[in-house]
Structure 1
Amino acid sequence: MVPAISLHAHAPDAGEPLEHYWSAVVGAGRANEGLRADWQRQLAEVQAACGFRYVRFHGLFHDDMFVYTEREDGTPVYNFQYVDALFDALLDAGVRPFVELGFSPRALARETETVFWWGAHGAPPTDLGRWSELVGRTVRHWVARYGLDEVRRWYFEVWNEPNLRGFFRGTRSEYLELYAATARAVKDVDAGLRVGGPATSNFVPDTRFDGETEDFTVHTATFGVDLDTLDWKPVWLDAFLSYCAANDLPADFVSAHPYPTDWALDEHGQGQKLTRGVDATPRDLAEIRRLVDASPFPDAEIHLTEWSSSSSPRDHAHDTVPAATFVVRTVLHGLGTVDSLAYWTFTDVFEEGGAGDEMFHGGFGMITLQGVPKPTFHAYRMLAGLGDRLLARTDGAVVTRDARGRVQALAYHYPAEEPRSVPASFDDRAVAERTAATGTPRRLELRVDGVASGASFQVEVLDETHGNAIAAWHALGAPTEPTRAETAALDRAARATAVRTVTAADDGVLALDVELAPWSVLALTQLA
C-alpha cells in the first residue's frame, strides 16, 4: 500500500517566511516575439494569474530589433524604437525586464554562422570597445526613459549559455573578457545597477568538462555511470567567480540553467539523451547555494534563468499533467535555496526551432500559441495562491498562511513508480502517455486546526480529467487544424479544474481526507 501524505498544521503558528522565488522570473523566446499582440496578451494573463515579476528573453540586440547598425563608413547607428515598444508593454503589464545582454548584432559579430531558426549571432563582438559603447548607450537610454530608480530594479545578465559553441563561438577566457567589458559598461552608467552571469547551460558531473570550451554537453551513458551517483556542478561558475574576484569585477548575481538532463540542446553532443532523478533540480539548487556561500561573493543573488523538465522545444511531456506536477514538486523541494527559478517559457509563441507544427507540439510554453492554458499554467497559478508564511510541510504537501490570516495548502502526488524527472517524449507522445499512466492512487490526510469555526475552503484539483488541455483535445478527436469554435471549447475545458467547497468544524478544525490520483495537484484555499 502506498503510504498516505499526512500533514498537520496549526493556523495561528508564526511559521517561517515563504519567498515565492518560483514566480520571480519567467522566460520567453526572443525580444521580437514580444512585439506580437498574442505574446503580450499571454504575458498579461500569466502575470495576473501567476504573479511573475520579471521576464527574460534572448535577442535584445538581434538585427530584427534594429538597436545597432552601421553606416557604410562604419559609424554606429542606434535605434531604440522597437525596444521602447516592447519594454513599455512589459511595464504596462506589471512585469520588469530581466535583461539578457546578447547576442551580437550582425555588424559586430566576429563570425557569420548563426544559431536558431531566427539566426542569432552567437559569435562574440569583434570590437569590445564598440560593444561596451552599445551596452552603455542602451542602458543610458533606459535610465533617461524610465528613470534611474526603475532601472535599478532590473537585472543585467551577460549573454546566454556561453559554454555552448553555438551560443558563444569563443572560449571561456573570451567570455570572461566580454563579461568584464559589459559589467564595467553597465556600472559606468550607475554603480547601483545589478549585473551578473555566467548564464551557463546545465549542470555537469564534477569539473570534467569545465574547460575553455563546452561545445557539447555530457553524455554519462558513454561512461556507464548511474546519473544520480555523480556529483553535478554548474558549468564555469567557479572560474567566473574567481575571475571576478581577481579582477575587481562586480557579480551582483550568478546565473545558470539547471535542466534535469545530461544534455543541453538537440544539436549538441552525441549519444543517448538521459533524464536525471526526480531530485536533480533541488540538489542542484542546494549545490549552487553552497558554492556561492563559500565564494568571494557570498551575498550574490542566485537566479536560475532557464529551467524546465527538459531543454527541448519539441518534448511532448511539456504539454502534460506530469509536467505540472514536476513543477510543483521541484519548487516545494527547493524552498529557501535560490532567489529565482525561471520556467522556460510562459508561451508557445517561440521560434528557436521555427513555429510549432500543431497546437500541442511539445513546446516549452505554459500556454499554447492559440492561448489555451496547459497544466503547467495551473501549477504556477496554484503556487501563486500560497501565502507568505510556511506553517508546515512534508514530502507531498505544504500549509501556508497569507497576510490576511487565511490558510492555504498545496498537495501533489508524484508517483514513486517514476523515480526520474519527467522523461522527455521526443518523436511522438508515446513516452508522455506512458508517464501519465504510471502510478497508483495515494491518500491525502490534511488537518489544520485553529481556524474560525465554520470557515469555508475551496478545494481545487488538477488531474488527467480536469484542467488538462491535451485530454480535452483528444476528446474532440485530436483535430490537426482546430476551428475557432473547437479552440474556444478547448480553452474552456483547459480552464475547468475540479472545484468544490469544504467547511471547518465547529471546533475550528479543517480535516481533509481524500484520494489523490497519480500526478494530481490539489490546492486548498480559505475563502474570505
Structure 2
Amino acid sequence: MHRHFQGLALLAVAAALAILAPVFCAERPAAAGAAPSPDSQSAAPVVIQVDAAHPTGPYSPAWNYFGADEPNYVYSKNGEKLLRELAALSPAPVHVRLHNLLTTGDGAASLKWGSTNAYREDADGNPVYDWTITDRIFDAMLDAGVQPLVEVGFMPEALSTHPEPYRHDFPKGDIFTGWSYPPKDYAKWAALVTAWATHLRDRYGVESLNGWLWEVWNEPDINYWHGTPEEYDRLYDVTAQAIRSVLPNALIGGPDSTGPGTGRAAEFLEQFLEHCLRGKNSATGGTGAPLNFISFHPKGSPTEVDGHVRMGIQRQLAAMDRGMKIVASFPEYKHTPIILGESDPEGCGACSVATNPSDVYRNGPLYGVSVAEAEARTYELARKNGVVLKGSVTWALEFEDQPYFAGFRDLATNGVDKPVLNVFRMLGMLTGEWLPTTSSGGLPLDDILNSGVTRAPDVNAIATRSEHEVDVFVWNYHDDDVQVPPANVHLNVDGLRQGRVRVEQFRMDSDHSNSYRAWLDMGSPAAPTPEQQAQLERAGKLETLGTPQNLKIAGGRLPLTFDLPRQGVELVRISWR
C-alpha cells in the first residue's frame, strides 16, 4: 500500500494469461548450483510427517486481519457481502483496519481515497463534528460481525497545517496532500479524538469496544506524515491520552511504520519504542506512553524475469525478521504483541493491470499461495526471534465500480471471490494446538531469508489438532510463476486413535477454487450475464477434491498420497466423533 508498485516491465497479453495456463521444519538442505529442470520436482516424492499425538502448544491465528485505504467501500453492497464472508472464515474474530476515517470529504470513494467529513469548523473556528459517515462504516463492520482495528487518521482539512491541495486524484500527481500534515492545533485534535471516542462508546457500548484495537496514523516514517519523528511521538501521546480519557482500558498501538528492512524505517521504529519507554509524554508530562501492541509493515517486491512474474517474498520476510529483532532488543517489550499492520507481496494494492500488467498474478493462485507461504513463515519468524505474534494484516478488501479481475490486490471482484480468499478459508479451519510437522520438500527459513524461493520450490506444511480433528495445511510455492509438473506428496499422520475417520481434501490451484479461470474460460466478459455471475460466484467458493472418504486407522497412522500443483494449496481434514 505504501509504495507504488513500479518497475515491472509490461508483459504481453499472452504472457499475462500464461500466468494462469506452528512447529514445522525443513529437512531438505539448500539447493546448490543451477536451477533445477522443470521435471526435477517429480523426481522424488515429498514426504510430510505429522505427529498428532504430541501437540507443542496452543495455536492462535494471526491471519485474521484485513484492511484497505477506502473505508466507504465497506458499506457498499459488495463490501457488506465481503465483510460477512470474512466474519464467517473462522470462530476467531476477524479485525478490519481502514485508512481515512477522519479525512475531510463527501464520502465518495475512489482508489486510495475515502472520507467521512467528521470534522469541520464554523466561521468562528469552532469545531463541528458529524459522525454520519463514520457511523455507516462502523455499523457495516459490526453488523457483519467483524471487529474494528481503529486507525486514527487522517488530518481533517480544517486542522491541517498545509490544507491545500487536499483531495488527490490517484494515480495522477502526488497523493500525499493536505491530509498528511500535522495538526495546526493539538488541543483541537485531542478534542476531536475525545469526542469521537465518546460517540463510539455511547453508540456501541463499552463492552463492544473492549474487543477493539486502536492505533495512531499510518506509516509516519514516509510521506503519510509530513512531520518529524518527534512530531509523530507528540501526535501519538496526545491521541492515546484522548482515547484513554474516554476508554481507560483501550488497547492502543503503533507506529505502523514501513517495513524496517531499510535504515530509515528501522531507526524510526527504534526511536518510537524508546519514546514509549523513556521519552517525555507530550500529553501528560510523565515518562513514556501506553503501547499495547507494536506494528510495522513488511512488504515484498515482485519483478519480471524472462517474461514471467517472480515474487519477492525474501524482502517481505527479511523486513519481518528485522522488525522482530528490533522489538526483541527491548527487554521491556518481550511480551508485547506484534501486529504486522500490512503484510503483503508488494506495496500498491490500488494499482492494477491498467498501469502494471504484471499485477495479473493477483487474480489467480500465485497470490493465494504467496499468502500461505508468508503466513506460515511469519509464525516461524516469531518463534525464532522470541516475540509474541498477534496479527498479520492483509491489505486487501474489494474495489467498487472497477472492471472484473483488473489485477487489484483484493479478495473479491464485483462480488466474486478470488482464489486468495479460499486460502484464508483453509487457514480459518486450523484450530486447537500446533502439531510437530516436517517436510522433505521444505526449504530452510534461512535460505529463504537469503535468496527467496527461486532455486527449488517450498513444498511444506503446518498442522493443528483439536478435540475431534486434525488439519494439515500444505502448499507448493515458488517465486517464479512458471509451469512445472506437480509435487507428489506422501502425507503420513501418526498418533491417531484406532477406529474410523473422515478425510476431506480442500484445494486451491489453477483448476480448483479459481474464479479467474472460470472467467477466462467464459471469454472474460466485461459485463457477465446473471447466469454467468452466478457461475462465477460458485467458482469462487472453496472446493473439495472428490467426496469425503471414511477410512479405518491401523497402527495409529493415516497415509495419504496426492499430487499438488505448483502454486497450489491444500487442507486435509481428518475428523472423528
The TM-score range, normalised by the shorter chain, is 0.7 to 0.9
TM-superposed deviation, 1:19: 1.2
Equivalent residue for 2:200, pick from 138, 142, 146: 142
The question of whether the paired residues in 2 share the 8 Å contact of 1:348 and 1:366 is answered with no
* Residue aligned with 1:157, SS: strand
TM-superposed deviation, 1:53: 1.8
Q: Mapping of 1:272-421 within 5 angstroms?
A: 277-295=312-330, 296-312=332-348, 313=350, 314=352, 315-335=359-379, 337=382, 338-349=389-400, 356=402, 358-368=403-413, 370-394=414-438, 395=442, 396-402=460-466, 404-415=467-478, 418=479
The residue number in structure 1 matching 2:549 is 502
* Residue aligned with 2:273, SS: helix
TM-superposed deviation, 1:27: 0.8
CA distance in 1, matches of 2:553, 2:275: 63
TM-superposed deviation, 1:510: 1.6
Provide Cα deviations, 1:329-366, integer angstroms capped at 9, x if missing partner.
111112162211111113234xxxxx53x211111211
Q: Mapping of 1:456-467 within 5 angstroms?
A: 456-467=502-513
Q: Mapping of 1:111-190 within 5 angstroms?
A: 111=162, 112-114=164-166, 116-117=168-169, 121-165=179-223, 167-190=224-247
The residue number in structure 2 matching 1:430 is none
* Counterparts in 2 of 1:292 and 1:38: CA distance versus 1, 3 Å: same
CA distance in 2, matches of 1:142, 1:496: 36
Matched, 1:244 2:244: no
Provide Cα deviations, 1:156-215, integer angstroms capped at 9, x if missing partner.
1111112222x222222222221122122222223321212111123333x2x35xxxxx
* Counterparts in 2 of 1:129 and 1:506: CA distance versus 1, 3 Å: closer
Q: Which amino acid aligns with 1:287?
A: R
Q: Which amino acid aligns with 1:316?
A: V
Provide Cα deviations, 1:70-120, integer angstroms capped at 9, x if missing partner.
111111111223222322232222211100000011111122234654877
* Counterparts in 2 of 1:70 and 1:262: CA distance versus 1, 3 Å: farther
Matched, 1:101 2:152: yes
CA distance in 1, matches of 2:567, 2:542: 17
Q: Which amino acid aligns with 2:291?
A: A
The question of whether the paired residues in 1 share the 8 Å contact of 2:411 and 2:420 is answered with yes
* Residue aligned with 1:307, SS: coil
The question of whether the paired residues in 1 share the 8 Å contact of 2:62 and 2:391 is answered with yes
* Counterparts in 2 of 1:239 and 1:439: CA distance versus 1, 3 Å: farther
The question of whether the paired residues in 2 share the 8 Å contact of 1:30 and 1:58 is answered with yes
Q: Which amino acid aligns with 1:302?
A: I
Aligned alpha-carbon RMSD (Å): 2.4
Provide Cα deviations, 1:255-312, integer angstroms capped at 9, x if missing partner.
111111399xxxxxxxxxx977434434433332232122243332211111221122
Equivalent residue for 1:480, pick from 503, 508, 526: 526
* Residue aligned with 2:244, SS: helix
Q: Mapping of 1:517-528 within 5 angstroms?
A: 517-527=565-575
TM-superposed deviation, 1:39: 0.8
* Residue aligned with 1:455, SS: strand
Q: What percentage of aligned pairs have identical amino acids?
A: 27
**Structure 2 unaligned blocks of 5 or more:** 1-39, 108-115, 281-287, 304-308, 353-358, 383-388, 443-459
TM-superposed deviation, 1:243: 1.8
The question of whether the paired residues in 1 share the 8 Å contact of 2:476 and 2:565 is answered with yes
* Counterparts in 2 of 1:277 and 1:34: CA distance versus 1, 3 Å: closer
The question of whether the paired residues in 2 share the 8 Å contact of 1:7 and 1:392 is answered with no
Q: Which amino acid aligns with 1:32?
A: N
* Counterparts in 2 of 1:471 and 1:322: CA distance versus 1, 3 Å: same
Provide Cα deviations, 1:20-60, integer angstroms capped at 9, x if missing partner.
1111x211333222232321121011210355521000111
The question of whether the paired residues in 1 share the 8 Å contact of 2:119 and 2:192 is answered with yes
The question of whether the paired residues in 1 share the 8 Å contact of 2:316 and 2:344 is answered with no
The residue number in structure 2 matching 1:61 is 102
The question of whether the paired residues in 1 share the 8 Å contact of 2:300 and 2:312 is answered with yes
CA distance in 2, matches of 1:262, 1:521: 20
Q: Mapping of 1:416-431 within 5 angstroms?
A: 418=479
CA distance in 2, matches of 1:151, 1:496: 33
TM-superposed deviation, 1:505: 3.2
TM-superposed deviation, 1:399: 2.3
The question of whether the paired residues in 1 share the 8 Å contact of 2:363 and 2:516 is answered with yes
Aligned pairs, number: 465
